[in-house]
Amino acid sequence: MTCSSVDFFWRRAARPRPVLGATVLGVLGLLAAMPATAQTDSLARIGPALVRYDRHAPAEKLFLHLDRPSYVSGETMWFKLYAVDGRRHQPLAASSVAYVEVLNEEKRPVLQAKIALRQATGHGSLVLPPALPSGRYTVRAYTSWMKNFGPELYFHSPVTIVNTRTPLSVPAKSAALSYDPQFFPEGGNLVQGVRSKVGFKITDSQGRSVAAEGTVLDQAGQSVATFRTLQFGLGSFLFTPTQEGGPYSAVIRVAGQPPITSALPPVRASGYGLRLEDEDAQQLRLVVEVKGAVPANENLFLLAHTRQQPVVAAAGQLSQGQALFLVDKQQLAAGITHFTLFNSQRQPVGERLYFRAPTATLPLSARTDKTQYAPRQKVTLQLAATAASAAELSVAVYQLDSLSAAGGADISSYLWLSSDVKGTVEHPEYYLAPGREAAADNLMLTQGWSRFRWAEVLAPQPRPLPYLPELNGHVVRGRVLNSATGAPAEGIVAYLTAPSRAIQLYNSVSRPDGSVQFETTQFYGTRQLVAQPNTAQDSLYRVELLNPFSEQYAAGRPTTFTLAEQLAASLQRRHVQAEVQQHYLGKQAVRYLAPPADSTAFYGKPSEQYLLDAYTRFKVMEEVMREYVPGVLVRIRKDGFHFLVPNDNSRGVEENPLVLLDGLPVFNTNRIMAFDPLKVQKLDVVTRRYFVGKQVYNGIVSYTTYKGDLAGFPLDAHALLQEYEGLQGQREFYAPRYDTPQQQQSRLPDFRNLLYWNPSVQTTTSTELPFFTSDQVGRYRVVVQGLTKDGLPGTASFTFEVKPSL
């Protein structure tokens, strides 16, 4: 990781919040007011270490707004991307590329796209293949920078895709239902004689939450605690284990099912127990209780951080095996706060998460001019986003049916909650409402998770980060290998080009692991890439290109996809809608348009340019060069032809200039001299010394063919030719208009279930967006997602109805 890249991220992210104090029993937690003792010195090192780590590895988040929660094979999936910094959720215009994938149940990608990000947003679409099997899929999105920190940090959203062209497989007769109970002691461990809160989560074999109740039994089969789920299969209970090692077990009862017995985590003879409770409406109480082989008067350190920013730091000392920390809730930022307890050796010995619902949100309202409409009638959507700064919004309007009844992810609950916990959160928006503190605390107990390991934070040197942020364009990654042994090669110059009339060339010097990186520009659509070393100097090596998509996947369990019989009517309707729309749109459904590209060559305006059709055409390249190109001297040596571009810096220099054909480097001049000059349209000559990356060339001689396709020029045997998908071009969402009576009476069927999609709406006050209903009657949902420049997310959703006649 280069310092410049880290600084780039750091300048765009919010500055760290000041370290605040917590009231501690016997010790005042304000670091600035504490004497410079060994105790406070240890505490003072932990907070700054986290700040240094955050500067080295600042967090980046992506949110993806999908147009619908379910699809039929053959439909188009539209989406909008929001990129934010991980601290204050402000738009982060750092990464210029986002990677979007659709994964099947086996976590294999079935669709992939690279989406350009501009000013922290981007949008795109994916056409679902007609043959795509029915199933539950996952849409995930991430940037190159996010690949440094694991796939759990990527954006994930489940979607249902149904192939209505093939009969749904009838599942085998299901076996007895199975359940997966999990228990999570507060702070991390059960310790003998320490009263602890234990969170639990109960799901079925498909990962769906289950309501249940149960009893905790000791080794003798005596009941020592009872419990009941509160919401979404989550709950907690207080429990004091008295038997070292246990075993303690839980007997779980689900309505209509036989009892389930599950073991609790083992009990430790010594260790640290944490218990976080409400002291009152303004304060939290964190009780630390220790047993066993722990120094009686050990110094303890508490650090609380929200999204890697320290907010509370305090020191305390054990007294009779206990310590108490009181924390003012107002010191805690909105979102998830991690309370980490360190022992006297600055080793983390326990952690507890706490969620504080946000109080400041984007005041976002949305409504239509009416609540009911007729088919093919105009709808005026009125949006209002009153905020201190402008808001970037995305809008979707889709038909509600049995498949799409459950809404998708919303930006508020994702940024404040889902993006900072492990696994899938069921109905995350539930926890943001007032009065849900107990349910949120159960979630923190069971799905708590850290973005980093403290060993990395406290390490003397930060670990190197292999993936740089893509600041200016897509970075094509590859490796240079020894052709004979396959071993990585260091210090070899590799070249990358996509032959065309728009001359672009990239080079990179291989690192000790053989890796090379090429930062491309204006790279849209599918291109033929050529990667090669300088075969005149390094003929023993070859270049291979690496998969730009992440090959790491978040943990999860496979599920069985089934559809209830009552969905038959909805599926039939969706099938007809999809078939009619695909027939009506035809090839427009898969048409992507790349933005206008700059055709100027990477070397800019050449010193000399020769349009060969303006001259008498020769059939031998040597005659062309000697007769018409005085700026390039042709020399013949023992090994054949050589070029020399005279300039003020070339005296005594016998090296060839950089020779290109449609942007492809040609290292052997004999090969270009053997090429048919009648296939060349123009010739550019750069007479000055030119720098390409770290390489210096004594001028450039660049040939361009009529079509920019190399015109049959044979590639070197060491060159790699590979088809490569660049950034996705843009597609415009199409929807018919019915402004006139003739349009309304058109006999062309309009079976759209997605009435409107607009991924880029900017507003400071209010905006009106018009669209038309289709021939499909029913209820429609309007979903608006948005984010301000200050980092305030907002979501609005409501429904309206389309009736046959009004």
Residue 399, H or E segment: strand 391-399
Are 52 and 143 contacting, i.e. CB atoms less than 8 angstroms apart? no
Strand arrangement, sheet containing 364-368: 364-368, 378-385, 766-772
* DSSP bridge partners of 236: 199
Residue 10 has pLDDT above 60, yes or no: no
Place of tokens 């019915």: 738
Residue 15 CB neighbours (<10 A): 11
Average pLDDT estimate for 283-300:
89
Are 82 and 63 contacting, i.e. CB atoms less than 8 angstroms apart? yes
pLDDT level of residue 43 (50, 70, 90 thresholds): low
Of 194-203, 273-282, 632-641, 653-662, the one with minimum mean pLDDT is 653-662
**Using N-to-C axis directions, what is the helix angle for 38-56 and 3-12, rounded to 10°?**
100
Backbone φ, ψ for residue 604 (5° rounding) = 75, -150
> Using CB atoms within 10 A of its CB, is residue 330 exposed (0-12), middle (13-18) or buried (19+)?
exposed
Give residue 33's pLDDT: 34
Q: Tokens for 96?
A: 């210029």
User: SS3 of 330, please?
Assistant: helix
Per the model's pLDDT, the better-predicted residue between 609 and 173 turns out to be 609
User: SS3 of 431, please?
Assistant: helix
| CATH 2.170.130.10 domain position(s) in the chain | 608-725
Of 283-297, 492-506, 708-722, the one with minimum mean pLDDT is 283-297
Cβ contacts of 420 within 8 Å, gap of 6 or more: 307, 335, 336, 449, 451
* CA nearest to 711, candidates 750, 756, 661, 654: 661
pLDDT level of residue 584 (50, 70, 90 thresholds): low
Distance CA 251, CA 221 (A): 10
Helices (H) and strands (E) in the chain, counts: 9, 51
Average pLDDT estimate for 139-150:
96
Place of tokens 């990186």: 517
* DSSP bridge partners of 598: none
Task: Write out pLDDT tens, residues 47-100.
Answer: 889 999 999 999 999 999 999 999 998 889 999 999 999 999 999 999 999 999
Distance CA 237, CA 199 (A): 7
| CATH 2.60.40.1930 domain position(s) in the chain | 179-300+351-356
Cβ contacts of 257 within 8 Å, gap of 6 or more: 177, 179
CA dist 279 → 203, 321, 332, 334, 684 (Å): 32, 20, 15, 19, 77
The sign of the CA dihedral 758, 145, 153, 108 is positive
Q: Which amino acid is at 283?
A: Q
Does the N-terminal peptide bond of residue 363 adopt cis geometry, omega within 30 degrees of 0? no
Backbone φ, ψ for residue 419 (5° rounding) = -70, -10
pLDDT level of residue 20 (50, 70, 90 thresholds): very low
Q: Tokens for 683?
A: 């010739």
Are 316 and 59 contacting, i.e. CB atoms less than 8 angstroms apart? no
Strand ranges inside 469-578, DSSP E: 475-482, 493-497, 506-509, 515-519, 526-533, 541-545
pLDDT level of residue 762 (50, 70, 90 thresholds): confident
Distance CA 618, CA 614 (A): 12
Q: What is the homologous superfamily of the domain 608-725 according to CATH?
A: TonB-dependent receptor, plug domain (2.170.130.10)
* CA nearest to 216, candidates 258, 167, 164, 181: 181
| Three-state SS annotation for 2-41 | CHHHHHHHHHHCCCCCCCEECEECCEECCHHHCCCCHHHH
One DSSP character per residue, 638-697 reads TTEEEEE---TT-TT-----EEEETTEE---HHHHHTS-GGGEEEEEEE-S-EEETTEEE
Give residue 30's pLDDT: 35
Are 286 and 186 contacting, i.e. CB atoms less than 8 angstroms apart? no
Distance CA 800, CA 778 (A): 9
Q: What is the mean pLDDT of the chain?
A: 87
Task: Write out pLDDT tens, residues 315-364.
Answer: 999 998 899 999 999 989 999 999 999 998 888 999 999 999 998 888 88
Distance CA 55, CA 644 (A): 49
Distance CA 88, CA 91 (A): 9
Are 179 and 204 contacting, i.e. CB atoms less than 8 angstroms apart? yes
Cβ contacts of 741 within 8 Å, gap of 6 or more: none
User: SS3 of 254, please?
Assistant: coil
Give residue 260's pLDDT: 92
Average pLDDT estimate for 427-455:
90
Counted residue by residue, the chain has a size of: 806
* CA nearest to 419, candidates 122, 792, 142: 142
Its CATH class, for the domain covering 179-300+351-356, is mainly beta
* CA nearest to 514, candidates 556, 468, 562, 546: 546
The sign of the CA dihedral 715, 718, 719, 723 is positive
User: SS3 of 111, please?
Assistant: strand
Distance CA 684, CA 110 (A): 44
Residue 687 has pLDDT above 70, yes or no: yes
Task: Write out pLDDT tens, residues 463-489.
Answer: 899 998 999 999 999 999 999 999 999
Q: Tokens for 52?
A: 């240094």
Q: Tokens for 232?
A: 């979404």
Distance CA 431, CA 437 (A): 7
Give residue 575's pLDDT: 77
Q: How many degrees, rounded to 5, is the angle at CA 187 between CA 216 and CA 156?
A: 95
Q: Tokens for 377?
A: 């009638």
Distance CA 321, CA 192 (A): 13
User: SS3 of 251, please?
Assistant: strand
Distance CA 499, CA 800 (A): 52
pTM: 0.91
CA dist 517 → 345, 469, 502 (Å): 41, 12, 21
* CA nearest to 774, candidates 397, 404, 396, 366: 397
Residue 721 has pLDDT above 80, yes or no: yes
